[in-house]
Amino acid sequence: MAEQSTSNVTVGIMPNGTSSSPLVTRSRFWFDDGNIVLQAESTQFKLHRSVLASQSPVFRDIFSIPQPTDSNEATVDGCPVVHLQDSEEDIENLCGLLYDTLRIHTFKKKMELSHIGTMLRLGRKYRFKHFRSEALHLLEHEFPSDLAESDANAADYQYIASTTGILFEVAYLAHENCIKSVLPGVYVLICLNHSPQAMKEGFDLHREKYGHFLRTEEPLSCLLGREHIHRAVSQKTLAWLYDGSIPCSKCVNVAACNLARTNHVLDIMKRSIQSAIRFFADTWLQNKLSAGLCTSCSGVAMYAYNTAREEVWHSLPEYFGLNAPIWDGDDVDDEEEKEDMD
Ligand SMILES: [Zn+2]
């Protein structure tokens, strides 16, 4: 196989007769007027060079390599064949994103996570315009790094189609594509919605495909983070229950506020870890923490709760072991992406 390399992408031009075998299938993306055939795994796609080149400088470079004129070199349906190292799922998704944009991204239909994965993966590898920034925007909207934005999010995802195990897949995508910003929010949701056993099963489900991308040891890091949050609930977000703040100096019913305090403590003692960490993850109102407290005590306690919650939120990357140096210096080259968009 003759090989030419451009921008870390290896293009193989197969000798006559080996580019197409009985096992090779044609994708539904097979345009009669296409002028290039891409092959990923055992699937071929007949596409347009101009479409790919206009969106990706890497494909532009690949197509600028003089194509063989020797009749011994293989062509399929009159087109040169470019062999890619990517999965056929990624190239199928890529064609959908380039040719079926309205079907994939409409206001009625949420986007499949696999398309977001393709946008991140191929956006980076082939420097497709806007792919990576759009995918990041969607993920960061659903899993914000800001506590107020996270509180404002609805129960369901706004842009991404929800599927079983989606949180674990997002976690793997974040590890694969070095998107540390979304992981604290994703891990908190995993901790809130899964028992330790379910957590293990969730990570195991995609481990074969994505496991080698993990930068932390899962599910251990997730479980350790859960323990840290649980400790932070008793030591920080609910410290006002025992640190002398309540009853406050302006309390109008000391006996009632003391009783409310006791009831909250009893409630917390009965909870599992998974349930108790809601005293960090949920807002003051969601946890109904005003119940039984006079207005003054409620105000004092709410301020303490909200302040501690912010503090714990900022500690999440540390709790989940995400501050390791392995995350540094591997992010998208913003300057390069900006240049490509000009
Ligand atoms: Zn009071």
Residue 232 CA, ligand 1 centroid: distance in Å: 24
Residue 291 CA, ligand 1 centroid: distance in Å: 11
- Give pLDDT tens digits for 252-284: 999 999 999 999 999 999 999 999 999 999 999
Residue 285 CA, ligand 1 centroid: distance in Å: 17
Q: Please give the pLDDT value at position 182.
A: 95
pLDDT at 6 over 80: no
Residue 277 CA, ligand 1 centroid: distance in Å: 25
User: Residue 329: inside a domain, yes or no?
Assistant: no
Domain encompassing residue 246: 228-319
Q: Please give the pLDDT value at position 207.
A: 85
- Percent of the chain exceeding pLDDT 90 equals 70
pLDDT at 231 over 50: yes
Residue 46 CA, ligand 1 centroid: distance in Å: 73
User: Residue 335: inside a domain, yes or no?
Assistant: no
Which amino acid type is present at position 237? T
Residue 280 CA, ligand 1 centroid: distance in Å: 23
Residue 64 CA, ligand 1 centroid: distance in Å: 76
Specify whether 205 is located in the same domain as 120.
yes
Q: Please give the pLDDT value at position 216.
A: 84
Residue 230 CA, ligand 1 centroid: distance in Å: 26
Which amino acid type is present at position 216? T
Q: Poorest-confidence range of 87-101, 112-126, 319-333?
A: 319-333
- Give pLDDT tens digits for 153-202: 877 888 888 888 999 999 999 999 999 999 999 999 999 999 999 999 99
Mean pLDDT computed over 5-22? 45
In total, how many domains does the chain have?
Answer: 3
Residue 295 CA, ligand 1 centroid: distance in Å: 7
Other CB atoms within 10 Å distance of the CB of residue 40: 20
Specify whether 204 is located in the same domain as 153.
yes
Residue 222 vs residue 207, higher pLDDT: 222
Last residue of a domain, one of 196, 218, 240: 218
User: Residue 250: inside a domain, yes or no?
Assistant: yes
Specify whether 97 is located in the same domain as 209.
yes
Specify whether 116 is located in the same domain as 188.
yes
pLDDT at 335 over 50: no
Q: Where are the beta strands (DSSP E) in the chain?
A: 2-6, 9-13, 25-30, 36-40, 43-47, 75-76, 79-84
Q: Poorest-confidence range of 124-138, 225-239, 241-255, 309-323?
A: 124-138
- 334: helix, strand or coil: helix
- 73: helix, strand or coil: strand
Last residue of a domain, one of 164, 185, 218: 218
Residue 244 CA, ligand 1 centroid: distance in Å: 12
Residue 264 CA, ligand 1 centroid: distance in Å: 14
CA 270 to chain centre: 34
Specify whether 159 is located in the same domain as 182.
yes
Q: Please give the pLDDT value at position 13.
A: 41
Q: Poorest-confidence range of 27-36, 160-169, 295-304, 322-331?
A: 322-331
- 8: helix, strand or coil: coil
Specify whether 205 is located in the same domain as 315.
no
Specify whether 263 is located in the same domain as 189.
no
Residue 310 CA, ligand 1 centroid: distance in Å: 24
Residue 108 vs residue 307, higher pLDDT: 307
Specify whether 99 is located in the same domain as 206.
yes
User: Residue 340: inside a domain, yes or no?
Assistant: no
Specify whether 25 is located in the same domain as 117.
no
Last residue of a domain, one of 218, 240, 261: 218
Residue 301 CA, ligand 1 centroid: distance in Å: 10
CB neighbour list of residue 127: distance below 8 Å, 6 or more residues apart: 7, 56, 57, 58, 336, 337, 340
Mean pLDDT computed over 77-102? 91
Q: Please give the pLDDT value at position 68.
A: 61
Specify whether 210 is located in the same domain as 240.
no
